[in-house]
Amino acid sequence: MLDEIQFDQQKTPDPNGPMIYKGIYHLFYQYNPYGAVWDVRIVWGHSTSVDLVNWTPQPPAFSPSQPSDINGCWSGSVTILPNGKPVILYTGIDLNKSQVQNVAVPVNVSDPYLREWSKPPLNPLMAPNSVNGIDPDRFRDPTTAWLGLDGEWRVIVGSSTDDRRGLVILYKSRDFLNWTQSTTPLHYEDLTGMWECPDFFPVSITGSDGVETSSVVQNDVKYVLKVSLIETLHDYYTIGSYDREKDVYVPDLGFVQDRSAPRLDYGKYYASKTFYDDVKKRRILWGWVNESSPAKDDIEKGWAGLQSFPRKIWLDESGKELLQWPIEEIDTLRGTQVSWQNKVLEAGSTVQIHGVTAAQADVEVSFKVNELEKADVIDPSWTDPQKICREEDLSVKSRVGPFGLMVLTSSDMEEYTSVYFRIFKSNDSNKHTKYVVLMCSDQSRSSLNEENDKSTFGAFVGIDPSQQTLSLRTLIDHSIVESYGGGGRTCITSRVYPKLAIGENANLFAFNKGSESVDVLSLSAWSLKSAQINDESISPFIEREDSHSPKQS
């Protein structure tokens, strides 16, 4: 499976510089060649693909070698220049342990695999400025650059001040080598702490096609600013407007760039990065799925961290939220299919889904509730969806829900991960009934290993179940459960390590624990084939015990 890209003896956090070049997709990533836990000697790992599903590992793009990055080559981005040449901006940790911004360029631009990169001796290009309050330990992760109306390049770098103001610092350049700090940041928010791995990109207000970062007609787009908050290890985004003359980004009404902002994913997902695919005219999102296992287990198995399924990302018609969906190429992995139509899940029922490989599957289901008016009234104090999911687990029955899927389930149901919905109602001041949809991914019973992080995740889904069916798509890959609720309005990634529900011993169920029946209008489940992600002659991958992904046929 694509999820199971494991990198030899290393910890793989942030996806870096994804792009398409001469018809070849490239993914760079933080790579520690020396161990499964984080190390200062981080290099840029590199893999290539023709379809975003099957991957060939390449030699690392570059490693610490200059005074400006001798203590680590950290995260960054790729920009495609107007002449078609890709250029990498990345954070280096210099001799003084300061974070500085460097450049790397391909040695041979005619090589579609870009197997060799060089670093000009003029590095670093940007350094922290103590006069403006930039701490040398809080200055990292440059974004993809974009061209302004004046012909100058812009790029932003994540930072924070001593008083916990998070900000993205703006730099400008005419030649991509000599950069000048702007007098004002692109955006900031007080008391949010360090902003890591920022991403800034336009999205079309009509349709789901992506928009190239520099080629923008102002009236046809909104802008997205995504930041990774180190204090929570979550990715938050706002949607707003960007004044291309004043270089100021302003979130739309209702958005604040803090913990109240919507998240790209409400589970294990961090340091995400997008790129524009100019072949299929779409914007694609990658995220780092961090570990739930303790460090000692990571060392024993020899790897830690992986990349999520790549997702297409676009702006909803309302202009108020982003939608995400697994890229269409994932469908090429589908094998044996099982389908249900117009099936009723009676109150308290659990029904097994036979005929697919439950440890490696793709499930799409559409639910409808006919007795919504019987839903429980939500307590006005219930504003934290994760807390509700944690306290209202499967053992707590309500009128409408919980209903959904039990995945990676052992035969005795001692282990399982449940992905489900609950529906509540609330009455506004005009006595109109409104419905609240809660989506949960419960890991509390996911593994017999009590040392694992078995947090329960939850989020509200912005959908009216009285007007629309409620959909769920879940991708299951041995230790990964990626779920998309309400057509991609809410995404939750769970990281689980079952000890019993492994391989052929894993089972898949649909269930309804509520007191009202739920209609399954349709359900399709597919066994998923494994992707080709191993070339043993140059592979940095190793085989893992609970997946046969590195040695596929």
% pLDDT > 70, the chain: 93
Place of tokens 């400008």: 172
506 within some domain: yes
Which of 14, 94, 141, 442 is an active site residue? 14
Look at residue 511 and tell me whether its pLDDT is greater than 60: yes
192 within some domain: yes
Give me the phi and psi of 307, to 5 degrees please. -100, 145
418 pairs with which residues across the strands?
A: 406, 442
Based on the domain organization, do 302 and 344 belong to the same domain? no
pLDDT averaged over every residue in the chain: 91
353 within some domain: yes
**384-396: burial string, b at 16+ Cβ within 10 Å, e else:** ebbebbbebbbee
Extract the tokens encoding 256. Answer: 């604040």
Sorted by sequence, the CB contacts under 8 Å of residue 322 that are 6+ apart come out as: 203, 224, 237, 239, 262, 264, 313, 314, 315, 316
Window from 262-276, 425-439, 496-510 with minimum mean pLDDT: 425-439
pLDDT tens for residues 382-412? 999 999 999 988 888 899 999 999 999 999 9
Angstrom distance (rounded) from CA 59 to CA 28: 11
367 within some domain: yes
Does the annotation mark 477 as catalytic?
A: no
Q: What is the CATH number of the domain that holds 130?
A: 2.115.10.20
pLDDT tens for residues 472-490? 999 999 999 999 999 999 9
119 within some domain: yes
Based on the domain organization, do 443 and 488 belong to the same domain? yes
Total of domains in the chain: 2
Based on the domain organization, do 317 and 344 belong to the same domain? no
Banded model confidence at residue 304, pLDDT cuts 50, 70, 90: confident
What is the 8-class DSSP label of residue 465? T
Based on the domain organization, do 274 and 359 belong to the same domain? no
Give me the phi and psi of 131, to 5 degrees please. -60, -35
Contact between residue 73 and residue 92 where contact means Cβ atoms under 8 Å apart: yes
Decide which of 302, 326, 350 is a domain's last residue: 326
User: Comparing C-alpha atoms, which of 45, 42, 44, 18 is closest to residue 32?
Assistant: 42
β-sheet with 24-31: strand ranges across: 15-21, 24-31, 43-49, 55-62
Per-residue model confidence (pLDDT) at position 131: 59
| Residue 159 vs residues 211, 236, 261, 384: alpha-carbon distances, Å | 26, 15, 18, 28
Angstrom distance (rounded) from CA 271 to CA 339: 36
Q: What is the DSSP string of 126-164?
A: B---GGGT--TTSEE-----EE-TTS-EEEEEEEE-TT-
Based on the domain organization, do 176 and 249 belong to the same domain? yes
Give the pLDDT mean for 498-525: 97
Per-residue model confidence (pLDDT) at position 35: 83
Give the pLDDT mean for 523-547: 62
Based on the domain organization, do 279 and 411 belong to the same domain? no
551 within some domain: no
Based on the domain organization, do 101 and 165 belong to the same domain? yes
Based on the domain organization, do 342 and 322 belong to the same domain? no
User: Comparing C-alpha atoms, which of 127, 179, 137, 184 is closest to residue 160?
Assistant: 137
Based on the domain organization, do 385 and 516 belong to the same domain? yes
Angstrom distance (rounded) from CA 489 to CA 391: 23
Banded model confidence at residue 278, pLDDT cuts 50, 70, 90: very high
Per-residue model confidence (pLDDT) at position 429: 58
Window from 54-68, 164-178, 209-223, 397-411 with minimum mean pLDDT: 209-223
Decide which of 326, 348, 369 is a domain's last residue: 326
**434-455: burial string, b at 16+ Cβ within 10 Å, e else:** ebbbbbbbbbebbbebeebbbb
Based on the domain organization, do 148 and 248 belong to the same domain? yes
Angstrom distance (rounded) from CA 326 to CA 487: 11
Per-residue model confidence (pLDDT) at position 227: 98
Decide which of 292, 326, 360 is a domain's last residue: 326
- Polymer length in residues for the chain: 553
Based on the domain organization, do 412 and 438 belong to the same domain? yes
Look at residue 141 and tell me whether its pLDDT is greater than 60: yes
Sign of CA dihedral 6, 11, 14, 18: negative
Q: What is the CATH number of the domain that holds 400?
A: 2.60.120.560
Per-residue model confidence (pLDDT) at position 12: 61
Structural domain including 507 reads 335-528
Contact between residue 227 and residue 166 where contact means Cβ atoms under 8 Å apart: yes
541 within some domain: no
Look at residue 537 and tell me whether its pLDDT is greater than 50: no
461 within some domain: yes
Strands (E), 290-348: 303-304, 306-307, 311-315, 322-326, 334-345
Give the pLDDT mean for 227-245: 96
* Choice between 473 and 541, residue whose per-residue pLDDT is larger: 473
Based on the domain organization, do 101 and 247 belong to the same domain? yes
Pairing of strands 376-377, 322-326: unpaired
Pairing of strands 507-512, 322-326: unpaired
